[in-house]
Structure 1
Amino acid sequence: MKKLSVLLKTESMKLRRSPILLISFFATPLTAFFVFFADPNRYASHLGWYIDELQPWSIFFLLPSITALLGSYLICREKDDDTFKTLRLIPVSPIQLTLVKLFLTFSLTIILSLFLFTFSIFGELILHHSLLPLSPMFHMLRQYLLNGIGIFLAVLPFITVCSFQKNGQWIALILTEIYSITGLFAGIADPFRTYYPITAIFQLSGYYPADFNKRLISLLILLLCGTLSLFVLWIFHGTKKTTATV
């Protein structure tokens, strides 16, 4: 446990020096500002519309691609910088190291989602000079938290597959952006809305109205994305370990 906490701290320090982290935290408020100034009069007509409207914009255009970029970059940098062989000298298995990087990615996705929620609160305060009542505010906070969890699970397959390619972080970024924007069309029809991972996020969080069965299916779809990704990760490191032994 202590070994994993040291690894997590080390990866956090390395990421702190990366420009990609700065880009991520710059793109988040930029998206919030863009949505705010797109139609401030409409948001001013009803309390809570801005917080609500920011969710699809951030999920279809920003957070999944940022998550994929962060996650694949954390893994790819060891291969691109040729430091992965050096890391093998440390008494830590490659899969443990990768899992720590994925946990850091998951944490950053949640932080970015909450960062966006904070900006939306300030936006509502500017528009209406008042905050949402506590009950709706906690409801929205829950939606943003579930959005963060769902985004990580939905893009985990891209992180896992692209991370072991040369410059895979940019491949993951492009593929995930296409994958996210496709959700705009999947969200139109109800069957696709439930089964397509990006739109399943909205059903899980409660942004889309859905009954219990549809929400359960959406949850299972996202969990399947996560499970398959971990299976691919296990297969990859198992193959590498066998190859190294031979």
Structure 2
Amino acid sequence: MITYTEREVSNMITIIKTEFLKLKRYNIILSGIFMMLLSVVLTIFTSTANDGSFWDFRYLYEQVIKNNMTLIFPVCITLISGYIMNREYDNDTMKNILTVPISYKKLVFCKLIVCGVVSILFGFCCFVFTIIGEKVMNYPGFTVRYAIEALFSITANSLFLYIATMPIIVLSWRKQKGYLVGAIVAFVYGYSGLLASSKMALANIYPITATLGLIGYRSYDVSVNWNIGLNIISLALMILLSILITIKTNINLDNSKEKKKKVKTKKGW
């Protein structure tokens, strides 16, 4: 069980503030923003296909959400969050963290909060790019109401997708460079949402597609029946699984153990 003393809470707040300051030096954040732009560009590119679909602003941002869910965001947030943790190893700053009276589990908690804020930032950037795409392509149906809906839907869905991907992220943090494998797993995990979305019963419980239910994705369609209770339970289980993985992690930053030096025994007398 993870408990918190007043000193540990103060240290955690300091670590979170420090993480936000360190983000300014990470060019990888710009890469994440570029991936959000890629999601919108990919969506606009598909609108040029002559498949009989009528594209307006509402359909545009719905397709952006769909592409984010299946192709872009799970991979993006796994890479970005993994990079944020991996810098502690690459920059050899883990030994400095050892001097702070805070466990590895609480460090992970701080990192997860920071990555959650980053996911919201990416969602907002994706919304901005969607608005720019709307102005460039001049799709019909743009209204202030739909713009507000797009802002909430894209940003909230990004946060929910982060929660849905959290167990993969936490697992990838256990080893240096583990986020590279985690990104591959996240891609398969996200792309499988296409299969899950074919049946509402499965879409309501599969974490990736359950995020759509929480934002009311295409709820106006009579064939779309979201079960909010199941959607919440699905993501809650992802949070619980992430906590269990963190608790079971053997890495402990509380105890700095010096490596025992092996003394070679001289042969003979």
> Scaled by the length of structure 1, what TM-score is found?
0.86
Match of 1:34 in 2: 42
Aligned partner letter, 1:183: G
Note the aligned Cα RMSD (angstroms).
2.6
Query: 1:30: how far off?
Result: 2.2
Which residue of 18, 23, 29 corresponds with 2:31?
A: 23
> Which structure has the larger Rg?
2
User: Is residue 240 from structure 1 mapped to residue 240 from structure 2 by the alignment?
Assistant: no
Measure, in 2, the Cα distance between the counterparts of 1:47 and 1:129. 6
Distance 1:149 1:55 in 2: 12
- Of residues 116, 139, 143, the one that matches 2:153 is 143
Match of 2:6 in 1: none
Residues in 2 aligned to 1:161 and 1:72: alpha-carbon distance in whole angstroms: 10
1:133 is matched with: 143
Gaps of 5+ in 1: none
Residue 241 of structure 1 deviates from its aligned partner by: 6.7
Instruction: Kindly indicate whether the alpha-carbon contact (under 8 Å) linking 1:124 and 1:131 is maintained by their aligned counterparts in 2.
Output: no
Code of the aligned partner of 2:182: A
In the alignment, structure 1 residue 224 sits paired with structure 2 residue 232: no
Q: Does 1:104 align with 2:114?
A: yes
User: Number of residues paired by the alignment?
Assistant: 243
Write the mapping of 1:1-246 to structure 2, written as runs, cut at 5 A.
3-40=11-48, 45-128=55-138, 132-209=142-219, 210-211=224-225, 214-236=227-249, 240=252
| Aligned-partner residue type, residue 134 of structure 1 | V
| Deviations, residues 171-223 of structure 1 (Å, cap 9, x unaligned) | 111110111011111111222111111111111111143546x1220111011
Higher mean C-alpha deviation, range 96-105 or range 216-225: 96-105
Tell me: CA distance 1:131–1:46, structure 2 relative to 1, closer, same or farther (3 Å).
Answer: closer
Q: 1:208 to 1:45 in 2, by over 3 A?
A: closer
Please tell me the residue identity of whatever aligns with 1:6.
T
Give the whole-Å Cα distance in 1 for the aligned partners of 2:92 and 2:213.
Answer: 42
Alpha carbons of structure 1 residues 91 and 240: separation in structure 2 relative to 1, 3 Å: closer
> What code does the residue aligned with 2:232 have?
L
The percent of aligned pairs where both chains have the same amino acid is 22
Shift of 1:44: 7.7
Q: Aligned partner of 1:69: which letter?
A: L
The separation in 1 between residues aligned to 2:253 and 2:130, in whole angstroms, is 47
Q: Are the aligned partners of 2:203 and 2:209 in contact in 1 as well (CA < 8 Å)?
A: yes
Q: Once the two structures are superposed, what CA deviation does each residue of 1:24-82 show, in whole Å capped at 9, x if it has no partner?
A: 11221122122213324878853422122111011111111111112222223324544
C-alpha contact (below 8 Å) 1:50/1:123 kept by paired residues: no
AA of the residue aligned to 1:221: S
Which amino acid in structure 2 is aligned with residue 199 of structure 1? Answer: T
Please give the alpha-carbon distance, in whole angstroms, between the structure 1 residues aligned to 2:255 and 2:13: 29
Report if aligned partners of 2:104, 2:253 keep a CA contact under 8 Å in 1. no
